[in-house]
């Protein structure tokens, strides 16, 4: 009886061992590389996998997730003979698990060595200033070269990023001094440009003010001259009306010769007293009397004509 129990115990242990060797559960985003008698047999995807115990075995478990690899900081000599230290990270993903296992002994070591040599080759063709200003270009070149080289290993390089570029201490000091000088230069240029613009604006303002003042003076002069002309015109019209009224009054009064002479002298006096009039009377008394006589004859002719009309 005891021998039977021992047999069943041994049988149960064997069944458990065989079951453990036969049944495999593959996790999500992982694959198993299965070998049969030392030769590649299949790639087991996520889920339940049955293998033949003692004949098949799992050679490797490969992750299909995107992975990152920090490349140790590397000293690189630039084109202008400056030694800088570059720290890089590589993002890659395995696309063919069988190649990743069988085509290279260590995929991570292969990617690391290839990245180091590629960085030295790419950066060695650039000047120091170009390495700082062309990070995107360096990243793209590294990604393309690494992706092409690792394709035969069943690997795809998605991104390569330069985390840091560290120049020597003396180069850093010189670069800081250069940047300070550039900042001071830009500040001086901006200050000078601001002063120049302010001077231009001030000059334009003065010019506009002078133009407006000249136009105002011109307008005032035009208005003043127009007013004076209008005043002279009104004075002349008033004087003409006065003379006409005097003439009509004299004609109605039927003046004699002495009255005509007297009124003519009074009219000449009024005309001479005007601000806008200048009258030149000759000193020769005979000419004055002749003028008065002529006016008398004109007045007499007008009186006779009126009487004849009546």
- pLDDT single digits (tens) 225-240: 888 888 887 777 777 7
Average pLDDT over residues 103-125: 90
pLDDT at 260: 58
* Residue 112, in any domain of the structure: yes
Are residues 59 and 119 located together in one domain of the fold? no
Residues 86 and 142 in one domain: yes
Computed from CA positions of residues 133, 139, 142, 144, in that sequence, does the dihedral angle turn out positive or negative? Answer: negative
% of the chain exceeding 90 in pLDDT: 17
Q: Is residue 182 part of a domain?
A: no
Residue 192 lies in a domain: no
- Please count the other Cβ atoms lying within 10 Å of the Cβ belonging to residue 49: 18
Q: Are 82 and 18 in contact (CB under 8 A)?
A: no
Position of tokens 């009186």?
Answer: 303
Same domain, 57 and 104: no
Residue 280: predicted pLDDT: 45
Instruction: Report whether 292 contacts 248 (CB < 8 A).
Output: no
Give all strands of the β-sheet with 56-63 in edge-to-edge order.
39-44, 30-36, 56-63
> How many domains does one find in the chain?
3
279 and 268 Cβ atoms separated by less than 8 Å: yes
pLDDT digits (tens, 9 = 90+) for 186-200: 888 888 888 888 889
Q: What is the pLDDT of residue 156?
A: 92
Same domain, 49 and 78: no
Task: Indicate the average pLDDT of the chain.
Answer: 79
- 198 part of a folded domain: no
DSSP structural state of residue 92: E
More confident residue, 305 or 209: 209
Q: How far apart are CA 104 and CA 55, in angstroms?
A: 25
pTM greater than the 0.85 cutoff: no
User: Do the domain assignments include residue 224?
Assistant: no
pLDDT band at residue 299 using 50, 70 and 90 as cut-offs: low
- Predicted confidence band at 300 (pLDDT cuts at 50, 70, 90)? low
Confidence band (pLDDT; 50, 70, 90) for 297?
low
Least confident among 37-46, 199-208, 289-298: 289-298
> Last residue of some domain: 121, 144, 167?
167
Q: Residue 146: which pLDDT band, with cuts at 50, 70 and 90?
A: very high
Could you tell me which of 91, 190, 97 has the C-alpha nearest to residue 146?
A: 91
Q: What CATH number corresponds to the domain at position 159? A: 3.30.479.30
Q: What is the C-alpha separation between 268 and 265, in angstroms, rounded?
A: 5
Structural contact between residues 251 and 302, judged by C-beta atoms closer than 8 angstroms: yes
Looking at the structure, do residues 123 and 158 belong to the same domain, yes or no?
Answer: yes
Task: Mark whether 47 and 22 lie in a shared domain.
Answer: yes
Give mean pLDDT, residues 114-130: 88
**φ/ψ of residue 289, rounded to 5:** -65, -35
In percent, the amount of the chain with pLDDT more than 70 equals: 77
Residue 44 sits in the same domain as residue 71: no
296 inside domain: yes
- Whether residues 294 and 269 share a domain: the answer is yes
Domain boundary among 149, 167, 185: 167
Asked if the structure places residue 150 within a domain, the reply is: yes
Q: Quick one: tokens of 12?
A: 């149960």
Q: Are 52 and 80 found together in one domain?
A: no
Domain boundary among 167, 198, 231: 167
Q: Is residue 156 part of a domain?
A: yes
State the pLDDT at residue 205. Answer: 87
Same domain, 71 and 124: yes
Domain containing residue 116: 67-167
Q: Say what the pLDDT of residue 210 is.
A: 86
Indicate the length of the chain as a whole number. 310
* Together in a domain, 44 and 75: no
Residue 181's pLDDT is: 80
Average confidence (pLDDT) over 260-289: 52
71 shares a domain with 159: yes
């Amino acid at each position: 009886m005891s021998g039977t129990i021992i047999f069943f115990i041994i049988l149960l242990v064997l069944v458990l061992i065989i079951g453990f060797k036969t049944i495999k559960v593959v996790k999500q985003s992982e694959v198993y590389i299965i070998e049969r008698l030392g030769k590649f047999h299949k790639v087991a995807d996520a889920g339940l996998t049955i293998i033949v115990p003692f004949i098949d075995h799992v050679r490797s478990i490969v992750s299909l997730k995107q992975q990152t690899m920090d490349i140790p900081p590397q000293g690189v000599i630039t084109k202008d003979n400056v030694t800088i230290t570059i720290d890089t990270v590589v993002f890659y993903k395995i696309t063919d698990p069988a190649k990743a296992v069988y085509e290279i002994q260590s995929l991570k070591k292969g990617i690391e060595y290839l990245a180091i040599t590629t960085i030295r080759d790419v950066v060695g063709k650039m000047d120091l200033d170009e390495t700082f200003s062309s990070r995107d270009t360096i990243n793209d070149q590294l990604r393309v070269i690494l992706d092409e080289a690792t394709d035969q290993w069943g690997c795809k390089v998605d991104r390569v990023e330069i985390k840091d570029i560290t120049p020597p201490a003396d180069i850093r000091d010189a670069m800081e001094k250069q940047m300070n000088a550039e900042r001071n230069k830009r500040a001086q240029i901006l200050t000078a440009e601001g002063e120049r613009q302010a001077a231009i604006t001030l000059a334009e303002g003065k010019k506009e003010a002078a133009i407006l003042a000249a136009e105002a003076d011109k307008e005032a002069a035009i208005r003043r001259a127009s007013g004076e002309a209008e005043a002279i015109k009104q004075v002349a019209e008033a004087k003409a009306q006065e003379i006409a009224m005097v003439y009509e009054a004299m004609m109605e009064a039927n003046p004699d010769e002495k009255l005509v002479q007297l009124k003519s002298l009074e009219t000449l006096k009024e005309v001479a007293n005007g601000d806008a009039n200048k009258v030149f009377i000759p000193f020769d008394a005979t000419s004055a009397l002749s003028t008065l006589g002529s006016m008398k004859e004109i007045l007499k002719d007008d009186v006779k004509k009126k009487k004849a009309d009546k």
